Every structure is written in structure tokens, then in C-alpha cells.
A and B are shown apart, each in its own frame.
Chain A
Amino acid sequence: GNSVTQMEGPVTLSEEAFLTINCTYTATGYPSLFWYVQYPGEGLQLLLKATKADDKGSNKGFEATYRKETTSFHLEKGSVQVSDSAVYFCALSNGGGSNYKLTFGKGTLLTVNP
């Protein structure tokens, strides 16, 4: 079956530090990969995605590259801000259209201090 493993944290950084959150996956076929962010007390927001090998998803300074050879989709940001403090979820989907399922990692809590 499908599974996603990500570093659980918590991760605490100072503002302007470099961020890496590791994510690896197990899946059959060619899944799509996602990073979602959840701010305190809110639902999840799609941060970025990649649908095929070597694709790079990027948004708001965050990047992740779909590495099929290492089955990884690590999230990076060169300079974090206090407003980036949130829980980050790596996820994969093996389906298409509207009737598919997401498999989530356990989430990584990021705290950025001023």
C-alpha cells in the first residue's frame, strides 16, 4: 500500500534560517506528491505539488523536487519567516479526477522564532 514518512519534528528555527523537512514515500505506479500547510486552528492549504518525476513544485519561497530514484519529496525554503510557523504535511495520491485518496505523513511542526 501507499505510505508517507516525514520527519516528525518539532523543528525550531530562527528567522532567516534555512529549512529542510524530509519526506519519503512508498507507492505503486507514479503518484502525485503534495505539501500541505496547516496554520493553528485552521484546515489544510495546498502549498505545492509535483505530478511526475523531476518536477519541482514551488510557492511562497518553498520548493520540493519529485525524486523518483530516492522516492523523496523534501521541502526546502532558503529563509524562513515567523509567519511560516505551522504544521507541514507531505502527501501522495495515486488517483486522478475527483475520486481519489490522499495518503498523509504525520506532519511536522515548524516554529520560527524572531
Chain B
Amino acid sequence: GAVVSQHPSRVICKSGTSVKIECRSLDFQATTMFWYRQFPKKSLMLMATSNEGSKATYEQGVEKDKFLINHASLTLSTLTVTSAHPEDSSFYICSVGQTGEQYFGPGTRLTVT
């Protein structure tokens, strides 16, 4: 299956700043990537579907101006959390869709102080 990496694995930022998280498909050209958010002891919540060369499709209730997604190439999608606040602290995971399955990155732990 597809190998997916994320960078950084952990990031701490101050309230009000912006943070960019990268998701890379290392061995597969991904036209579609997915971004999830996982709260402690909770399931994964799909935030948006990232489409290469076009605008992302956001799930209901997800602020598209706060969570900016850019899928500029077939191997890279980025999620930027703008003007981060402590309530944005979470584990963010991306995935790549391939042949009816999804392959997940290792996740990024964001802590906003």
C-alpha cells in the first residue's frame, strides 16, 4: 500500500500563530488525500477531502478559513491551522486513497499554548 509521511510529528505553537502540517505520499501519486482530526479517546473526525489542483471539500462544521488546505502536487498536501488557539490542540492525521483503501500518515500532535 501507499506510504504516507507527515511533518512535523509534533509541534508546539503560541496562541494566535499559524502552523503548517505537511502530508506526503512517498510512493504513490495521490489525486485525493484526506485530513482527519482526532481528539483524546475519541474517534477520527474527517475534516476535509483534499483534491490535487482544486479546492478542498470541507465537512460540515469545519471552518475552511481556519483550516487551509493546499494540494498543489500529486505527492503533497498541506494543512495550515491559522490563528491557532488552545482548542485547536489535537492529533491531525492525513490519509491517501488508493484502490479502495486508505493509507494513513503517522499523525501530527499540535499543542497550542
Interface residues of A (CB under 8 A from B): 32, 34, 36, 41-46, 49, 51, 89, 93, 96-102, 104-107, 109
Size class of the contact patch on chain B: 20 to 34
- B101: A residues at CB distance < 8 A: 34, 46, 49
Q: Is the interface of B mostly helix, strand, loop or mixed?
A: strand
Contacting residues, chain A, for B31 (C-beta < 8 A): 98-99
* B46→A102 contact, CB < 8 A: yes
Query: What residues on B are CB-neighbors of A46 within 8 Å?
Result: 1, 101-103
Smallest CB separation, A46 vs chain B (Å): 6
CB-defined A-B contacts under 8 Å, sample of 9: A41-B109, A43-B106, A44-B93, A89-B43, A98-B97, A99-B49, A99-B97, A101-B49, A104-B44
Is B93 a contact partner of A43 (Cβ separation < 8 A)? yes
B: residues with CB less than 8 A from A are 1, 4, 6, 30-32, 34, 41-44, 46, 49, 51, 93, 95-107, 109
| Best-buried of B51, B97, B98 by chain A (most CB within 10 Å) | B97
**Cα A107 to Cα B31 with chains together (Å):** 28
B30 touches A106 (CB 8 A): no
Q: Please, which residues of chain B bring their CB within 8 A of the CB of A44?
A: 44, 93, 95, 104
Residues of chain B within 8 A (CB-CB) of A105 are 43
Tell me the nearest residue of chain B to A102, going by C-beta.
B102
